[in-house]
Amino acid sequence: MARFRTFIISSLFVIPVIVAVSFWLIDRQHYESTDNAYLKANIILISPKVQGYVSQLLVDDNQAVQQGELLLTIDDRDFQAKVVQAESRINEEKAHIQRLHAQKTSQHSHVAAATANIAAVQARREQIQKDLRRFDELINRGSASKQTLDKIQSESKQSAAELASSQATASAEQGAYGAFDNEISESAAKLEIAQAELQLAKLELEHTQIKAPVAGVIGNKGVQSGQLVRPGMTLAHLVESQKIWVEANFKETQLEYMRIGQAATIKVDAYPDLELTGKVDSFAPASGAEFSLLPAENATGNFTKIVRRVPVKIVLDTGADVSLLKSGLSVEARVKVN
């Protein structure tokens, strides 16, 4: 009877242990878990694209903002002056081009007049040449005086000079007409440059208003009203708090049966009663050690094999309540692999 009692008492302790070990073994076969996991979110650096003094600061640390919401403004007076200056230059170039076109039209009439003058002089010269040939025949017959022939020959020489002069004038007028095309092309190029400068001036003016690129929460604000800011300076961080995922660092020995799309459960250390669901989204292309600033040097005489960890991205299921979640919080990730 005593032996039976001892057996019963021993069984009360052994059976729960056996059951617990059995559940643990079954769980190991179907799940892989790690507590080396953290919540992650996109963190955007808010930086100015132009230099100037902050004239308005409209946000503070830990403030939620919407996409496109104005965060701060930079004194824009200098930039407005640049826009006005660029617009004035454009108007000047346009007026200059209009004047050139008007002058070109006027020059065209000069070219036409010079061309008509050549035709008239050419016609007179042809008539004089005909008279000169006719008088040559009359002189040979003795029917005309030498004085009349000399007069016609003089007129012939004069008409030749007039023709050469009119041709030179027409050539000069045509050259002046062609020069307007070059001037118009140069002014058109200057106009394009002025228009590009106006676009740049307007863009710089627009950049004096710094807006939130996405919805999120402002953090680590490092700028004050009246401060001089420059391009590249970090003014604040914007955490895209509505797009949270998990980065779980699993051991390399845990990846054998892990696949993209497998279901996962997430427990947040800060909120023990909160359990989230998600799925495996992707695997890092290398272990975390490969991305470290000082990677391990294994090609030495002293070598200790260390199990590597590979970051695994787990995305939360649609509709998950992320209002309490913060980037960087510790979590426990559990993936169902079978």
Kindly give the pairing relationship between strand 236-251 and strand 216-219.
antiparallel
Written as six digits, the tokens of 105 are 């039209």
pLDDT at res. 289: 78
Q: Which residue has the higher pLDDT, 249 or 288?
A: 249
In the predicted model, is pLDDT for residue 81 greater than 90? Answer: yes
| Phi-psi region at 157: left, alpha or beta (left = phi > 0; alpha = psi -120 to 50) | alpha
pLDDT at res. 63: 94
In the predicted model, is pLDDT for residue 71 greater than 60? Answer: yes
In the predicted model, is pLDDT for residue 176 greater than 70? Answer: no
pLDDT at res. 184: 80
Least confident of 16-20, 60-64, 195-199: 16-20
In the predicted model, is pLDDT for residue 187 greater than 80? Answer: yes
Q: What is the DSSP string of 300-332?
A: SS-------EEEEEEEEPTT---TT--TT-EEE
State how far the Cα of 42 lies from the Cα of 26, in Å rounded to an integer. 37
pLDDT at res. 149: 56
Q: Which residue has the higher pLDDT, 123 or 193?
A: 193
pLDDT, tens digit, 9 for 90 and up, residues 43-58: 999 999 999 999 999 9
Taking residues 256-264, what's their average pLDDT?
93
The residue among 234, 247, 108 whose CA lies nearest residue 180 is 108
| Phi-psi region at 275: left, alpha or beta (left = phi > 0; alpha = psi -120 to 50) | beta
Instruction: Find all residues with CB under 8 Å of 107, minimum gap 6, and list them.
Output: 173, 176, 177, 180
State how far the Cα of 138 lies from the Cα of 67, in Å rounded to an integer. 103
Per cent of the chain over pLDDT 70 is 69
Taking residues 322-328, what's their average pLDDT?
89
- Superfamily name with CATH number, domain 33-75+218-336: Efflux pump adaptor protein, beta barrel domain (2.40.30.170)
pLDDT at res. 331: 95
pLDDT at res. 147: 60
Helical H segments across 248-313, by residue range: none
Q: Give the mean pLDDT of the chain.
A: 82
pLDDT at res. 301: 62
The residue among 57, 85, 75, 88 whose CA lies nearest residue 205 is 75
In the predicted model, is pLDDT for residue 24 greater than 60? Answer: no
pLDDT at res. 29: 61
Widest Cα–Cα separation across the chain: 179
pLDDT at res. 125: 67
Taking residues 145-162, what's their average pLDDT?
64
Q: What is the DSSP string of 113-177?
A: HHHHHHHHHHHHHHHHHHHHHHHHHHHHHT-S-HHHHHHHHHHHHHHHHHHHHHHHHHHHHHHHH
CA of 225: how far to CAs of 137, 212, 235, in Å? Answer: 105, 18, 11
In the predicted model, is pLDDT for residue 21 greater than 60? Answer: no
Q: Determine if the pTM surpasses 0.75.
A: no
